[in-house]
Amino acid sequence: MSINWVYFSDTNTPPGEIKSLLEKKQFRLTATNEIDRLRSLLIENNQSVLFIKSHTLYNVFDFCQEISVLYPHVYIILIVPDNLENLKKAMLMGASDSLRSSYTQEELNDAIEHAKKYMQHRAKKDQGLVNLIKEKSKVIAVTNPKGGVGRTIVTVNLAVAFAKMGKKVAVIDGNLQFGEVAMYFNVKPKKTIYEWVKEGYGSEQYSINQYMTTVEGNVSILAAPPRPEFFEGISENHIKAAVNEAKKLFDIVLIDMPIHISEIHLRYLDLADEILLVTQNEVSVLRLNQLYLEMLESINLKDRVKLILNRFVKKQGLDIKKIEAILGLNIFFTLPDQVNVASSSIKTGQPFILSNSRSQLGKAVLKLSEKLIDQKIGETKKLKKVKRWSLFGKRGEQRNVTI
């Protein structure tokens, strides 16, 4: 795959470190300060990444919006003065990423790597190697039987991260009584799954996306009912139909799971291609997760589980190998403990992938989304012998566990 790296500056400011870093990665950068030349460069190649540094002749945000409308295939990285940095505004104007003028080499490298991976995924899709529409869409349930472990915040930020990679993403709020997905995006939906069940279920005239709300980050959410008692009219058959309808329209369907075990909870799990069990390095959480995994094993769903260790701090609590031994699964990914970033995101109702994507937590969620996409759907799982431990006492025997 050949990526067309382009740099535009209205003041003819040289690309400097951008060019140097791209050359180290064996990429060629073309720089210009002429609009006509820029247009020809963007038309020539549909795999284009454009750095825009504009603040004298053109307003950087207005210019970005014009380019994104004329050339929707272009991945735009805005370089803005520090006092004008506004990632939310950049995204609304069509940018895929933004950098401060005083960016560090690490920030620049992250922006380049993310652009490269985005282009690689899109190239595969264009070539027909990855087609997640309909039969190859992916359903991911994010779960934990205990509240307060970060399940919802992981779900909403993972959704935005997938969308930034060019995927069409839906989030279904599985907590039908007290769902919070809409709150985490700071929206109050006019329509929810309740209205879809009343009006759209079983009708070809009403598509499920008519009952979804598009939120910041280009994510569609199917919100929980507006009142807790309304959940009683929603059955597991409705849930199955909702997920299957969403699979026809979206590349990735994320389900923010309810805490309580019920027929609906189990139906969501059964429909999921992957189950992300968000856990923490706390004995009370691990104890419940162990019981939860035993339940999943009894209904033959444990092989779909991937452990996500949230709020991880090195050298605190149990070490990773002990956690893996207790739960009988390898940890798929760890997310760092950044309470300030997560708390600010919840209070403002804006995913930190949009407001603070370069925080350690933001970078980690982006990497998690890339790792999940990079897996081959339906890949063969390997069996590995691990020693099982229990928080209720040691279980000495060796068992075959699906990793």
Residue 197 has what DSSP assignment? I
Beta-carbon contacts of residue 260 (< 8 Å; ≥ 6 apart): none
Higher local confidence (pLDDT), 355 or 157: 157
Amino acid 316: pLDDT:
87
- Which residue type sits at 99? L
Q: What is the pLDDT of residue 290?
A: 95
Say if domain 4-126 classifies as CATH 3.40.50.2300. yes
The CATH number of 134-402 is 3.40.50.300
Whether the predicted pLDDT of 131 surpasses 50: no
* Distance in Å from the first CA to the final CA of the chain: 32
Average pLDDT, the chain: 85
Q: Give the residue from 319, 315, 316, 303 showing the smallest Cα distance to 380.
A: 303
DSSP state of 194: H
Q: Do domains 4-126 and 134-402 have the same CATH topology?
A: yes
Please report the sign of the dihedral spanned by the C-alpha atoms of residue 151, residue 154, residue 160, residue 161: negative
The reported pLDDT for the residue numbered 202 is 82
Which is more confidently placed, 392 or 197? 197
Query: Domain spans of the chain?
Result: 4-126, 134-402
The whole model's pTM is what? 0.69
CA 2 to chain centre: 26
User: How far from 175 is each of 5, 145, 215, 321, CA to CA, in Å?
Assistant: 44, 12, 19, 32
Residue 165 pLDDT level (bands cut at 50, 70, 90): confident
Q: For the segment 240-282, what is each residue's pLDDT rounded down to a tens digit?
A: 999 999 999 999 999 999 998 888 999 999 999 999 999 999 9
Number of CB atoms found within 10 A of residue 264's CB: 21
- The pLDDT assigned to 372 comes to 93
Residue 47 predicted with pLDDT over 50: yes
**What's the pLDDT score for residue 288?**
94
Q: How far apart are CA 256 and CA 167, in angstroms?
A: 18
Give the model confidence (pLDDT) of 196-224 as tens digits. 998 888 877 788 989 999 998 889 999 99
Residue 298 has pLDDT above 90, yes or no: yes
pLDDT class for 124, splitting at 50, 70, 90? low
Tokens linked to 22: 């791209």
Residues 6+ away with beta carbon under 8 Å from 25: 112, 116
